[in-house]
């Protein structure tokens, strides 16, 4: 009988309603973990693309059950420390502890650096950086109590290089790397590992929308998926426009598993060579 790579573990995933977070939650469940799935399931000011919904989170729950996994879901905003604490406590009570943290919830918006409003700037940092810290603040004590664990922060290629038109996003994602490196040092004595993953474009609603497509193809009034793909392919070394959510989930699974038991403080690109192009 094959034993899952994270069998008997409990994994917290934020941003679990769709995209990378859903892929992580399902993939971890397939490999034997119990899942604590968290998402805001609501609009966020400054974000134009349609938000995840409670129906999306319910679909994640269904997919986990179909994979034979156990899950408890919570609707919470990663900016809300009390809501996160309550979600984590609920998951720990349900499953008896916590071993893995995937801090994946994030947003996107765009604009030239000097044109960003204070609100757009602050909301980006609040969700994509402070929200990651709040997630770790709520969850890490449970890993430390266990005496082991793995925390994986979802950054971006924008956490390793500059990109045009998203200075606030780049700043937040670079901040995630600094947070990861500091926590890796602080938590090492407790045998808790902390790493970050850095995707190129991922085929999720965060990029598959008119806002991002027009940013890549300003020459077209209504660029199609194919138009977008042609432009996005120029970012990567490998001849692909984007990766799939499961590619990030697989990398995260590796970092969470015992296969990576001595890997910590690492920035792992899953980027088709984009950062080296």
Q: Element (H or E) spanning 101, and its range?
A: strand 100-103
Q: What is the pLDDT of residue 1?
A: 53
Mean pLDDT of 76-104: 98
Work out the angle at residue 69's Cα, subtended by the Cα atoms of residues 147 and 200, and round it to the nearest 5 degrees.
75
With tokens 């045998």, the residue in question is 191
Mean pLDDT of 210-222: 91
pTM above 0.85, yes or no: yes
Query: Residue 192 above 70 pLDDT?
Result: yes
Q: What is the pLDDT of residue 211?
A: 83
Q: Element (H or E) spanning 112, and its range?
A: none
Residue-wise pLDDT tens digits, 113-156: 999 999 999 999 999 999 999 999 999 999 999 999 999 999 99
Q: pLDDT confidence of 112, banded at 50, 70, 90? A: very high
Query: Can you tell me the distance from the alpha carbon of 192 to that of 215, in angstroms, rounded to the nearest whole number?
Result: 40
| 200 contacts 235 by C-beta, under 8 angstroms | yes
Beta bridge partners of 195: 152
Q: What is the four-CA torsion angle of 51, 46, 88, 261, rounded to 10 degrees?
A: 90
Return the domain boundaries, the chain.
10-206+244-269, 208-241
| Structure letter (DSSP) for residue 111 | B
Active-site residue numbers? 169
What is the overall mean pLDDT for the chain?
97
- Can you identify the CATH homologous superfamily of domain 10-206+244-269? NAD(P)-binding Rossmann-like Domain (3.40.50.720)
């Amino acid at each position: 009988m094959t034993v899952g790579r994270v069998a008997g573990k409990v994994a917290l995933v934020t941003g679990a309603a769709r995209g990378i977070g859903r892929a992580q939650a399902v993939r971890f469940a397939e490999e034997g973990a119990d899942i604590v799935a968290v998402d805001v399931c609501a609009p966020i000011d400054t974000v134009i693309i349609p938000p995840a919904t409670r129906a999306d989170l319910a679909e994640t729950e269904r997919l986990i059950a179909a994979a034979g996994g156990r899950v408890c879901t919570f609707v919470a905003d990663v900016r809300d420390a009390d809501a996160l604490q309550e979600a984590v406590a609920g998951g720990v009570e349900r499953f008896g502890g916590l071993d893995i943290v995937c801090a994946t919830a994030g947003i996107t918006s765009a604009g030239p650096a000097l044109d960003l409003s204070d609100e757009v700037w602050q909301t980006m940092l609040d969700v994509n950086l402070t929200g990651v810290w709040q997630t770790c603040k709520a969850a890490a004590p449970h890993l430390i109590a266990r005496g082991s664990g793995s925390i994986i922060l979802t950054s971006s290629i924008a956490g390793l290089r500059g990109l045009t038109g998203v200075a606030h996003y780049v700043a937040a994602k670079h901040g995630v790397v600094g947070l990861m490196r500091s926590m890796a040092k602080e938590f090492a004595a407790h045998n808790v590992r902390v790493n970050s993953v850095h995707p190129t474009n991922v085929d999720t609603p965060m990029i598959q929308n008119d806002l991002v497509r027009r940013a890549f193809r300003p020459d077209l009034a209504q660029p199609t998926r194919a138009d977008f793909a042609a432009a996005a392919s120029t970012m990567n070394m490998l001849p692909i426009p984007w990766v799939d959510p499961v590619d990030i989930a697989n990398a995260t699974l590796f970092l969470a598993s015992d296969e990576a038991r001595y890997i910590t403080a690492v920035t792992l690109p899953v980027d088709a060579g984009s950062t080296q192009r």
